């Protein structure tokens, strides 16, 4: 009798959810955010995997230098990074001037509330703002932002708490404070250095900051945040020398470091914790030590910057080598520089004849470039010079300049720099309240908002461009003295011009689905995200190309484009049009 054959067993169909995590990681790493979201709808298992692992992997791989190191919600963080990247690509900016609102301003050291902010008086040309800002993400989607800026001899504080309210939009609460030492005089006691210190966490309402003045005071000021309480202070010893600039490097485990430029040539380094009542510098250097130039050619210091916990940089000039880098040692800072930089790019000058290598120049701002998620070596930094050039430097390279950025239509000096990770740099120039945005990515782009849309796939790299921060009833010509943002992943940038501070929200006001953590859709009323629609500035700008190809662009207000507006610009925010 023949043996009966068994029918072939049907193979069980496999699906994504049954794959090992290693394969899922490999597959999802290629998917754009829209596809990743669609996959998460396929099953509960995939939704759990993508929410737990895939969104974090996408944020860290596509945005390696702007992604935060920690997050209470990686899906929310990925959404913020993607929408912010789209807004930058489309040059979507909503700008306004900010100052304390009337009603309930907590004034220090009196410890009482006043209805109206007392603006600085006695300023000849308007105060020069110094700005710092921090943002803390709490559980439950709450974000607490603390913004401080100097207004003459005052320090203005804005506390803003945002919460994404499911189904009911965003909830936002704003509180204002103002601090000015008793007897402070405008001009003489103007704030020239300002740093926010990390909060103690929890429900702590205090604001701790370091304040330096032109009169030579350098203090840690603790604003208690409660009516009737007392302001606490402790001093850094300066011997009465004027504080010109400073740089702070905070530590959660050991001593924090503060570098202060005092007078024209002196830099002091302070290491401090919470226990010292008075803080004395543990080392002091003279920027001209080791220079061979004659006394007549001795440069002065313009800025100081802690690049990392191992190096400090000073911007000086006029000099043939206007950047000096010093080493931070266990005993303090090296008394002479370990590296001296020129700011002449021997590789990438324009078509005009190259400048002589011995040209005198001055460097004003210096900023380190943030590390990426895969590399943390603090070797790259940027500098802005008197001649209008922005240079990238690398401590590992034998070349003084590794890359340069310039606007061929404007050679005004560079007064401020703000890096968005290693993706772009925002530059504040010394003319017409001009901002310049340069793309730092050399042919590499980890994410584009059109990825996955085959018909509209764009391979064009975002071009460099500039903005005029026009303010009504304000002097036409002002430098952008200071730039600040809580982090590269935050969609708010603050700019300080003469006697004004501007808030720049990087978002499309008319977008149907903005990032709900920070913004609501504009629905045509009188307000938008707590702003009055009439406060929104109509900026102008241009693309940084050759003068022959330059075109002027203008923004419309929130309520729509003017009847006289020209053509819209493809690929940019709808509020932009060509004049």
The per-residue pLDDT for 552 is 86
pLDDT of 403 > 60? The answer is yes
pLDDT of 439 > 50? The answer is yes
Q: How far is CA 503 from CA 98, 242, 427, 465, 493, in A?
A: 7, 29, 15, 19, 6
Instruction: Report the sign of the C-alpha dihedral through residues 542, 462, 343, 65, in that order.
Output: positive
Q: How far is CA 172 from CA 115, 169, 246, 479, 519, in A?
A: 21, 10, 33, 32, 10
The per-residue pLDDT for 106 is 94
More confident call, 446 vs 22: 22
User: Nearest 5°: phi and psi at 444?
Assistant: -115, 130
pLDDT of 295 > 60? The answer is no
pLDDT of 7 > 70? The answer is no
Helix (H), strand (E) at residue 26: helix 21-28
pLDDT tens readout for residues 255-284: 899 999 999 999 999 999 888 889 999 999
Rounded to whole angstroms, the Cα distance separating 28 from 329 reads: 45
Q: Does residue 543 contact residue 550 with C-beta atoms inside 8 Å?
A: yes
Q: How far is CA 299 from CA 20, 126, 292, 319, 360, in A?
A: 63, 27, 11, 6, 10
The contacts of residue 387 (CB under 8 Å, 6+ apart) are 361, 411, 413
Q: How far is CA 271 from CA 196, 246, 307, 366, in A?
A: 16, 13, 16, 21
- What count of Cα atoms within 13 Å lies in the side-chain half-sphere of residue 294? 1
Q: What is the 3-state secondary structure (H, E, C) of 335-352?
A: CCCCEEECCCCCCCCCCC
Is 126 in a helix, a strand, or coil?
coil
The per-residue pLDDT for 449 is 59
Tokens of residue 380, six digits: 């790259």
Q: What is the 3-state secondary structure (H, E, C) of 153-169?
A: CEEEEEEEEEEEECCCE
pLDDT tens readout for residues 111-129: 899 999 988 876 667 789 9
Q: How far is CA 285 from CA 66, 202, 280, in A?
A: 34, 39, 14
Q: Does residue 385 contact residue 391 with C-beta atoms inside 8 Å?
A: yes
Rounded to whole angstroms, the Cα distance separating 237 from 247 reads: 16
Sheet architecture: strand order including 482-484: 94-97, 500-505, 492-497, 482-484
Rounded to whole angstroms, the Cα distance separating 429 from 414 reads: 5
pLDDT-based confidence at residue 434 (cuts at 50, 70, 90): very high
- Our CA dihedral for 502, 505, 506, 508, rounded to 10 degrees, sits at -130
More confident call, 142 vs 89: 89
pLDDT of 520 > 80? The answer is yes
Token pair 């601090």: residue: 179
The per-residue pLDDT for 29 is 85
Sheet architecture: strand order including 576-578: 414-420, 424-429, 434-439, 465-468, 540-543, 552-555, 576-578
Exposure class string for 157-170: b at 16+ Cβ within 10 A, else e: bbbbbbbbeeeeeb
pLDDT of 460 > 60? The answer is no
User: Domain segments of the chain: what residues?
Assistant: 16-84, 103-200
- What count of Cα atoms within 13 Å lies in the side-chain half-sphere of residue 304? 32
Average pLDDT for 191-216: 88
- What count of Cα atoms within 13 Å lies in the side-chain half-sphere of residue 321? 16
The per-residue pLDDT for 454 is 44
pLDDT tens readout for residues 138-187: 877 788 999 999 999 999 999 999 887 555 566 788 999 999 998 888 88
pLDDT of 292 > 70? The answer is no
Tokens of residue 54, six digits: 């895939």
The per-residue pLDDT for 220 is 96
- What count of Cα atoms within 13 Å lies in the side-chain half-sphere of residue 432? 12
Rounded to whole angstroms, the Cα distance separating 188 from 327 reads: 34
Pick the closest to residue 66 from 484, 443, 505, 420 (CA basis). Answer: 420
The per-residue pLDDT for 334 is 92
The per-residue pLDDT for 174 is 92
């Amino acid at each position: 009798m023949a043996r009966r054959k068994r029918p072939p067993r049907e193979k069980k169909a496999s699906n994504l959810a049954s794959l090992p995590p290693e394969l899922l990681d490999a597959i999802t790493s290629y998917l754009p955010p829209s596809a990743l979201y669609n996959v998460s709808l396929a099953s509960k298992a995939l939704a759990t995997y993508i929410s737990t692992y895939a969104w974090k992997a996408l944020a860290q791989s596509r945005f390696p230098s702007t992604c935060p190191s920690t997050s209470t919600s990686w899906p929310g963080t990925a959404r913020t990074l993607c929408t912010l990247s789209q807004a930058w690509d489309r040059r979507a900016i909503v700008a306004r001037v900010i100052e304390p609102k009337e009603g309930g301003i907590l004034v220090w050291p009196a410890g009482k509330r006043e209805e109206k902010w007392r603006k600085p008086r006695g300023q000849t040309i308007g105060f020069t703002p110094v700005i710092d800002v921090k943002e803390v993400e709490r559980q439950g989607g709450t974000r607490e932002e603390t913004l401080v800026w100097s207004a003459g001899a005052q320090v203005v504080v804005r506390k803003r708490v945002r919460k994404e309210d499911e189904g009911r939009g965003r909830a936002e609460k704003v509180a204002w404070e103002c601090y000015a030492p008793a007897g402070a005089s405008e001009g003489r006691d103007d704030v020239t250095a300002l740093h926010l210190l990390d909060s103690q966490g929890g429900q702590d309402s205090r604001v701790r900051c370091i304040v330096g003045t032109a009169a030579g005071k350098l203090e840690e000021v603790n604003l208690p945040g409660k009516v009737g309480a007392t302001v606490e202070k402790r001093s850094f010893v300066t011997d009465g020398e004027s504080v010109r600039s400073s740089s702070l490097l905070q530590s959660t485990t050991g001593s924090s470091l503060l570098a202060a430029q005092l007078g024209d040539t002196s830099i002091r380094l302070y290491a401090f914790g919470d226990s010292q009542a008075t803080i004395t510098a543990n080392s002091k250097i003279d920027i001209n030590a080791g220079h061979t130039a004659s006394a007549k050619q001795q440069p002065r210091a313009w800025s100081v910057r802690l690049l990392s916990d191992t190096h400090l940089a000073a911007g000086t000039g006029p000099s043939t080598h206007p950047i000096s880098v010093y080493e931070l040692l266990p005993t303090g800072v090296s008394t002479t520089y370990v590296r001296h930089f020129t700011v002449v790019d021997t590789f990438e000058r324009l078509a005009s004849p190259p400048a002589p290598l011995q040209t005198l120049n001055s460097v004003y701002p210096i900023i380190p470039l943030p590390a990426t998620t895969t590399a943390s070596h603090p070797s790259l930094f940027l500098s802005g010079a008197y001649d209008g050039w922005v240079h990238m430097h690398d401590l590992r390279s034998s070349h003084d300049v590794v890359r340069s950025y310039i606007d061929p239509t404007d050679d005004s000096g560079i007064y401020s720099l703000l890096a968005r990770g290693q993706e772009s740099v925002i530059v504040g120039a010394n003319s017409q309240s001009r901002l310049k945005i340069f793309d730092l990515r050399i042919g590499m782009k980890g994410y584009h908002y059109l990825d996955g849309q085959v018909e509209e796939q764009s391979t064009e790299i975002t071009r460099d461009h500039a903005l005029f921060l026009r303010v009504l009833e304000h002097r036409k010509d002002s430098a952008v003295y200071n730039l600040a943002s809580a982090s590269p992943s935050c969609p708010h940038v603050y700019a300080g011009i003469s006697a004004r501070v501007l808030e720049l929200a990087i978002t499309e006001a008319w977008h149907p689905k903005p990032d709900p953590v920070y913004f609501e859709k504009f629905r045509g009323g009188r307000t938008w995200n707590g702003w009055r629609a009439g406060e929104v500035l109509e900026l102008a700008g241009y693309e940084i190309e050759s003068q022959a190809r330059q075109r002027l662009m203008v923004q419309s207000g929130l309520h729509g484009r003017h009847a006289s507006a020209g053509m819209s610009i493809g690929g940019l925010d709808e509020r932009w049009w060509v004049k």
